[in-house]
Structure 1
Amino acid sequence: MELSYWAVAALLAVLYLFAGGKKIVQSRERLRPMMGWVDTVPMPQVRAIGVLEVLGVAGLFLPPLTGIVPWLAVAAASGLALIQVGAIVLHVRRGEASVVWLNVVALAVAAAAVWLATVWI
């Protein structure tokens, strides 16, 4: 279970550090080609989502590695899953059902991290 958790956490880290990092540092114009929804969401909210994604990655790794409040890994994985639920709702409302598959996959991986963290930690 431990190895499975770390593999899933690493996969989520790659996804969320890339996407969250872009949301934190890039302008709306640079984000628009990859994330068309940024036109409908205020930039401070886009930045906040990016910060939450990066903090979620830290929450997946730091508590289990340090042994300090390891249940925070479950909370972090749950938060990342909730971000994907919000993303699915946003894309469906915008009529972008064709891109929801990526959010569904990310949601499934985050749900797996929740389960693995619950079992292991």
Structure 2
Amino acid sequence: MNLALWIAAGLLAAVALTGGITKTFAPREKLAAVHGGGWTGEAGTAFVKTLGVLEILAAAGLVLTAALGIAPVLVPVTAVCWILLMIGAMITHGRRGEFAFAALNLVYLAVAVFIAWGRFGPESFTG
């Protein structure tokens, strides 16, 4: 189970890092032109860039804190924060009729639930 949790955290961290780098460094207008990124055209630049930075931090919180042994409790805490972020993403995509993206966010949410459950519970780093 520990290996499955590490793999899940690594995959979710890769998703978070990819999305975070894109939102942080790509121009908002370019993001808005991409399929599924239309919401960025309706959001402020600072908001989009802030989400990007938070996603980069989430990537670090999901993997690096445990791998380096620095506050590994941040792994399940980050997973819970990711769950909240994915709820917001699902609502946003759902309102825009982008149900395929909402479903993808639901998959990411489920992975984060698995990580939070596993790292707060049976495979806790403190136990």
Correspondence for 2:97 among 90, 95, 98: 95
Matches of 2:53 and 2:98, distance apart in 1: 24
Between structures 1 and 2, the one with greater helix share: 1
Superimposed CA distance per residue, residues 79-116 of structure 1 (whole angstroms, 9 cap, x where no aligned partner): 11111000011112223224211111111111111112
Structure 2 residue identity aligned to 1:111: V
Instruction: Please state if 1:67 is matched with 2:69.
Output: yes
In the TM superposition, what are the counterparts of 1:1-121 in structure 2 within 5 Å? Answer: 1-32=1-32, 33-34=34-35, 35-118=37-120, 119-120=122-123, 121=125
Does the 8 Å contact 1:9/1:60 carry over to 2? yes
Does the 8 Å contact 1:87/1:103 carry over to 2? yes
Structure 2 residue identity aligned to 1:117: R
The structure whose RCO (Cα within 8 Å, separation 6+) is larger is 1
Does the 8 Å contact 1:60/1:72 carry over to 2? yes
Q: Say what the alpha-carbon RMSD is for the aligned residues.
A: 1.3
- Matched position secondary structure for 1:67: coil
Structure 2 residue identity aligned to 1:7: I
Matches of 1:68 and 1:96, distance apart in 2: 38
Does the 8 Å contact 2:75/2:119 carry over to 1? yes
How big is the shift at 1:25? 0.2
Structure 1 residue identity aligned to 2:28: R
How big is the shift at 1:9? 0.9
Matches of 2:75 and 2:101, distance apart in 1: 28
Structure 2 residue identity aligned to 1:10: G
Q: Which consecutive unaligned segments of at least 5 residues does structure 1 have?
A: none
